[in-house]
Structure 1
Amino acid sequence: MTADGTGRALVTGASHGLGLDTARRLAAEGWSVTGAGRRPAAAVERPVPFDYRSADLSRPETCPEVAAAAGDGWDLVVHSAVYYADFHQRPRLGFADTEEMLRVNALAPYHLTLEILDRQPPERFCSVVVVNSEAMYHADRQSAPYAASKAALRLLTAGLAETCRERRAAVSTLFLGPLDDERKRADLRAIAVKLGADEEDVTRKYLKRSNPDLVIEELIDYASCFRTIRHLRDLGRLDGGSAGSLI
């Protein structure tokens, strides 16, 4: 890590959404960033001011390849890759989609982190931030596979935190409510237009119904997520084990 607190960072899910935004912000702060995502490089929205690598994290053989990309280890790892399988649009997910959801959302960050820790130089401290979702606390017949993958991620992350207590590393969980992404915003806007209602009112009602455990009236913006990721990184360096979790 350099004198200004930056270093080598790995961000998964960096082809779009929160992962892409996080990778861009880290690069803007001076980090040497490698971003891994399923989409080909040509399909990633520009600009991409970091080393982007197309990688399918649902494949077990991908984890060693991504873990080794730094060569001499990582200072920060942010796991934000997620697979939804468009479960809201289907009456029931098939076995293959459910399995892929578990692979990407839970197994990939777990095994990738273990690979990174095994390759990490003993003198290099690594902070790992795992992005999770409060959706793990709510499940219906459509969302149950997704919620289960997030619950599995929470338990596997607890195991990683125990592993990190024996090494120069820390694992933190960032629990998120609904993000202010383009697709969710477009859906809410369409509902508002259909009902002839104010978009902010529709958003508040949606958040109250879909996230009963959160006191929240606005979608969560990417800038707030990034500030929390930096905070968790700093907590991990102080704690030296597990930095806990924040919402």
Structure 2
Amino acid sequence: MRKSIVIGASHGWGAHLASRLVEEGWNVTAVGRRPKPELPDTDALRYVQADLTTAHGYEAVERELQEQAPALVVYNAVSYGPRDATLPPLDELEATFRLNALVPYHLLLNHVEKQSSAQFCTYVVTNSDSIYHANKYSGIYAASKAALRVLTTALASACQSHNAAAATLLLGPLADEENFEKLQEIAHRTGADMDAVTRRYLARSNQAYVINSFLSYESCVKNVLTIANLGRDANGMLCKLDGGSSGSLI
């Protein structure tokens, strides 16, 4: 049974991915910050609580990577940082960049250089279409994700001389609980149809979107599985499931 590690898997899309990988026959180690994850109880899935913003949490995940010798690692941990237009303290900005860009690069590059050459490993780094349309509310988060995109390319360069591949899964608006609850509240308050509210929200979020509904978790899973099955051909790959948000020329 192939081993995988999903980092940032206590809830939402990460938890869904960990559960689906088990269904696809993988042995999964799910890593998350929450003490009680939204994960099924199965012998093929093990949960490790670790906060990657701390040295202890980083070291715990580092040990898992070395001991498990996974064939697939998905980095999905994220910090959205300050989400208002005020200027936050510098340490808050640094914390967002640390978790979103510096930690995945350092953690995965360290594993690339230490892993056994006998075990091929695919690294899938989750990124966001926010890098295409930052504003005063999302600028810090978007900048950290743009840095992650560049660092993942550097990681792929390192993989070239090892038995590994690194790819980016760049996602647009997901059908997660937070988005659903926000739009449901608007629909209830205005008396509008939920589908109409969703279409209006997406059109205002990014005029380049060519989708009328949020992207499903299942479509994301299929893309991860495709990347994992490509072997070396996936190295340096940018898989965009972004609803067209980057525009027509990118």
**How far off is 1:95 after superposition?**
2.4
**Aligned pair in 2 of structure 1 residues 194, 92: CA closer, same or farther (>3 Å)?**
farther
Instruction: Give the alignment partner of residue 97 of structure 2, picking from 79, 95, 102.
Output: 102
Amino acid at match of 1:244: L
Length-normalised TM-score, structure 2: 0.89
Partner of 1:135: 130
Instruction: Give the alignment partner of residue 75 of structure 2, picking from 79, 85, 104.
Output: 79
Length-normalised TM-score, structure 1: 0.90
**How far off is 1:47 after superposition?**
2.2
Q: Between the two proteins, what is the percent identity of the paired residues?
A: 41
Partner of 1:241: 235
- Report SS of the residue matched to 1:217: coil
Q: 1:145-224 counterparts in 2 under 5 A?
A: 145-224=140-219
**How far off is 1:238 after superposition?**
4.5
Report runs of 4+ in structure 1 exceeding 2 Å deviation: 45-49, 59-65, 90-97, 211-214, 240-247
Separation (CA, whole Å) in 2 of partners of 1:74 and 1:63: 17
- Report SS of the residue matched to 1:11: strand
**Aligned pair in 2 of structure 1 residues 108, 139: CA closer, same or farther (>3 Å)?**
same
**How far off is 1:46 after superposition?**
4.5
Amino acid at match of 1:87: R
Instruction: Give the alignment partner of residue 44 of structure 1, picking from 37, 44, 63.
Output: 37
Structure 2, gaps ≥5 residues long? 242-250
- Report SS of the residue matched to 1:51: strand
Partner of 1:117: 112
**Aligned pair in 2 of structure 1 residues 125, 53: CA closer, same or farther (>3 Å)?**
same
Amino acid at match of 2:233: D
Q: 1:12-51 counterparts in 2 under 5 A?
A: 12-40=7-35, 43-49=36-42, 50-51=45-46
Deviation per CA, 1:67-101, whole angstroms, max 9, x where unpaired? 3215151100011111113615x644332322221
Separation (CA, whole Å) in 1 of partners of 2:194 and 2:234: 44
**How far off is 1:65 after superposition?**
2.7
What count of residue pairs does the alignment treat as equivalent?
A: 238
Separation (CA, whole Å) in 2 of partners of 1:173 and 1:142: 24
* Conservation of the 8 A alpha-carbon contact between 2:13 and 2:217: yes
Separation (CA, whole Å) in 2 of partners of 1:215 and 1:156: 28
* Conservation of the 8 A alpha-carbon contact between 1:63 and 1:115: no
**How far off is 1:51 after superposition?**
1.1
